[in-house]
């Protein structure tokens, strides 16, 4: 008999067992940067309590949790502790959930494999020679290895969906603004979202409905959409019009197989499905990296060793203090992106790079709007590969950035997108991405529930689910 997730934090004994279980697993995986669960004082009455009451939840280390570290995976913030809660965290706590720890990530969210982290390189629970994905790799691995049922991540260009897909779990990037960004350390503010990773669509929905909604502390936040709106009954795939963006010839066989599996589910359900092409898809990565680095250059200016973080013991003057702090505190990928962001914005060339990227972003946004006037749903790959190898045998930095094209489209357009596991190929999980129209987050989750029934996900053999 498996123990219930709502009971692991109920008593000192169950907590002890839980802590030991997680610590053993995380020795191999490196999903957590900080793990400090405590007994939950919630009443824990399963009938009256909220769906997330007593639920242990892991949080990506770029979301502020009072008195927990807030490192963003950076050496510069290694000893920084948050004095306050992000709005999403405040809402989870108010609903009775328990924050048990902070998870590993690419430094400031910049990466696709959690290997730009200065603090922990997360391994994939399906094969520890491979990446868990990134940048929310720790959050995805923690769910996949059964250490928590749900975690929060952030998604600026795919950082929730890609690791969720690499680890065989569900990952939602909500509509831009649907979840407050207050307390999320900014990477690229016009693209950043707080997302949810979960073992089932039901739990994903329970947590999303708690954290979603307008927030006076984030002017870009928007009102929550009521559950089931626009209405899509979970079992009713037949009423949907679905656009299918086929995998590229060059995408891995496991990715193409995942697409076929999902297409078959729709075909069996009698769904109206049609192959589509996305104009501008080939430019998505270039547009994304131009805009994201431009915004990152501005957002990361605050990490100067004066206002935040580690600083050298001695410097001749303030300029040198900043230079020494940033040289020692920031990793190569972050430095590269600040340089790139400065380059695309430099005087005289602004229009050639940044301006052009903004115009293309508007086109991509329009193309998505047109698409959703004809279809309710877009089905596409998440990433051209399954979880790739860590180290030299993996993808090159350039290949990784090119590979972000499928996921970055949703961030550029502001629409919601969800990674759904479909099965296993050669021992690795293979997901697909479903994208919906602006504000259609609950409709997407409803589709994920139907797909969950048709294609129930497996767990990695080495890390069986002790709690469920």
Q: Which of 98, 117, 135, 151 is catalytic?
A: 135
Q: Is the preceding omega at residue 230 within 30 degrees of 0, hence cis?
A: yes
Verify binding: residue 115, ligand GLN, rule CB under 6 A. no
Residue 287 vs residues 361, 368, 393: alpha-carbon distances, Å? 7, 15, 27
For the bound state, the minimum distance from the C-beta of residue 114 to ligand GLN, rounded and expressed in Å, comes to: 11
- Judge whether 131 and 389 are in contact, CB under 8 Å: yes
- Judge whether 82 and 68 are in contact, CB under 8 Å: yes
Number of residues that bind ligand GLN (CB under 6 A): 14
Closer by beta carbon to ligand GLN, 29 or else 188:
188
For the bound state, the minimum distance from the C-beta of residue 434 to ligand GLN, rounded and expressed in Å, comes to: 18
**What kind and span of H or E run contains 428?**
strand 428-435
Verify binding: residue 325, ligand GLN, rule CB under 6 A. no
Verify binding: residue 292, ligand GLN, rule CB under 6 A. yes
Closer by beta carbon to ligand GLN, 87 or else 135:
135
Q: Which of 60, 123, 401, 449 is catalytic?
A: 60
Closer by beta carbon to ligand GLN, 97 or else 132:
132
For the record, the structure tokens of 69 come out as 């570290």
- Judge whether 299 and 392 are in contact, CB under 8 Å: no
For the bound state, the minimum distance from the C-beta of residue 280 to ligand GLN, rounded and expressed in Å, comes to: 18
For the record, the structure tokens of 161 come out as 């969906």
Cβ of 331: how many Cβ atoms within 10 Å? 19
Choose, by CB under 6 A, the member of 82, 156, 209, 435 that binds ligand GLN: 156
Q: Which residue is nearest to ligand GLN (CB)?
A: 159
**Alpha helices (H) in 174-252, listed in sequence order:** 201-211
**Residues 422, 75: Cα–Cα separation, whole Å:** 37
> Tokens 């509509």 belong to which residue?
175
For the bound state, the minimum distance from the C-beta of residue 433 to ligand GLN, rounded and expressed in Å, comes to: 13
Verify binding: residue 73, ligand GLN, rule CB under 6 A. no
**Residues 198, 26: Cα–Cα separation, whole Å:** 18
Site string for ligand GLN, 120-139 (x = CB under 6 A): ---------------x----
For the record, the structure tokens of 349 come out as 């060339």
Tell the burial category of 191 from Cβ atoms under 10 Å away from its Cβ (0-12, 13-18, 19+).
Answer: buried
Verify binding: residue 157, ligand GLN, rule CB under 6 A. yes
Verify binding: residue 151, ligand GLN, rule CB under 6 A. no
Check if 135 is active-site: yes
Verify binding: residue 109, ligand GLN, rule CB under 6 A. yes
Check if 60 is active-site: yes
For the record, the structure tokens of 267 come out as 């075909």
Site string for ligand GLN, 391-410 (x = CB under 6 A): -------------x------
Helix (H, G, I), strand (E, B) or coil at 219: coil
Q: What are the backbone dihedrals phi and psi of residue 329, each rounded to the nearest 5 degrees, phi first? A: -90, -25
Closer by beta carbon to ligand GLN, 6 or else 135:
135
Residue 149 vs residues 9, 47, 58, 146, 252: alpha-carbon distances, Å? 13, 19, 9, 7, 29
For the bound state, the minimum distance from the C-beta of residue 248 to ligand GLN, rounded and expressed in Å, comes to: 18
Choose, by CB under 6 A, the member of 182, 187, 266, 283 that binds ligand GLN: 187
For the bound state, the minimum distance from the C-beta of residue 40 to ligand GLN, rounded and expressed in Å, comes to: 30
Q: Which of 159, 180, 209, 285 is catalytic?
A: 159
Tell me the catalytic residues: 60, 135, 159
Residues at the contact surface with ligand GLN, assessed by CB under 6 A? 109-112, 135, 154-159, 187, 292, 404
């Amino acid at each position: 008999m498996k123990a219930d997730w709502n009971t692991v934090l109920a008593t000192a004994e169950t907590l002890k067992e839980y802590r030991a279980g997680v610590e053993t697993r995380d020795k191999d995986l490196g999903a957590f940067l900080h793990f400090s669960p405590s007994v939950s004082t919630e009443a824990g009455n399963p009938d009256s309590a909220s769906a997330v009451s007593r639920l242990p939840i892991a949080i990506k280390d770029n979301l502020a949790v009072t008195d927990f570290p807030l490192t963003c995976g950076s050496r510069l913030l290694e000893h920084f502790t948050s004095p306050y809660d992000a709005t999403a965290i405040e809402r989870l706590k108010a609903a009775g959930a328990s924050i048990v720890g902070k998870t590993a990530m690419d430094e400031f969210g910049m990466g696709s494999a959690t290997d730009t982290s200065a603090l922990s390189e997360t391994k994939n629970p399906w094969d520890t020679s491979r990446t868990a994905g990134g940048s929310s790799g720790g959050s995805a691995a923690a769910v996949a290895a059964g250490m928590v049922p749900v975690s929060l991540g952030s998604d600026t260009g795919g950082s929730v969906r890609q690791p969720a897909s690499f680890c065989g779990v569900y990952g939602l990037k909500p509509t831009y603004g649907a979840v407050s960004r207050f307390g999320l350390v900014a990477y690229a503010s016009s693209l950043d979202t707080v997302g949810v990773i979960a073992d089932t669509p039901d739990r994903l929905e329970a947590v999303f409905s708690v954290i979603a909604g307008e927030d006076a502390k984030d002017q870009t936040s928007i009102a929550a959409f009521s559950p089931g709106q626009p209405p899509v009954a979970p079992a009713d795939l037949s009423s949907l019009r679905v656009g299918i963006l086929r995998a590229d010839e060059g995408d891995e066989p496991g990715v193409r197989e995942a697409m076929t599996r999902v297409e078959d589910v729709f075909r069996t359900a009698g769904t109206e499905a049609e192959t589509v092409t996305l104009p501008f898809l080939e430019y998505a990565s270039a547009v994304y990296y131009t805009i994201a680095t431009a915004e990152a250059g501005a957002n990361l200016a605050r990490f100067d060793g004066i206002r935040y973080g580690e600083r050298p013991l001695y410097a001749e003057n303030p300029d040198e203090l900043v230079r020494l702090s940033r040289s020692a505190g920031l990793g190569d990928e972050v430095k590269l992106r600040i340089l790139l962001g400065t380059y695309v914005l430099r005087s005289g060339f602004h229009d050639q790079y940044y301006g052009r990227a903004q115009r293309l972003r508007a086109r991509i946004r329009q193309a998505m709007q047109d698409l959703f006037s004809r279809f309710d749903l877009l089905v596409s790959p998440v990433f051209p590969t399954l979880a790739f190898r860590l180290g030299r045998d993996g993808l090159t930095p350039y290949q990784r950035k090119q590979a972000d094209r499928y996921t970055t489209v949703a961030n550029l357009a502001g629409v919601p997108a969800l990674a759904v596991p479909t099965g296993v190929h050669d021992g690795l999980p293979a997901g697909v991405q479903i994208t919906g129209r602006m504000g259609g987050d609950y409709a997407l989750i409803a589709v994920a529930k139907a797909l969950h029934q048709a294609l129930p996900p497996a767990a990695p053999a080495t890390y069986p689910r002790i709690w469920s």
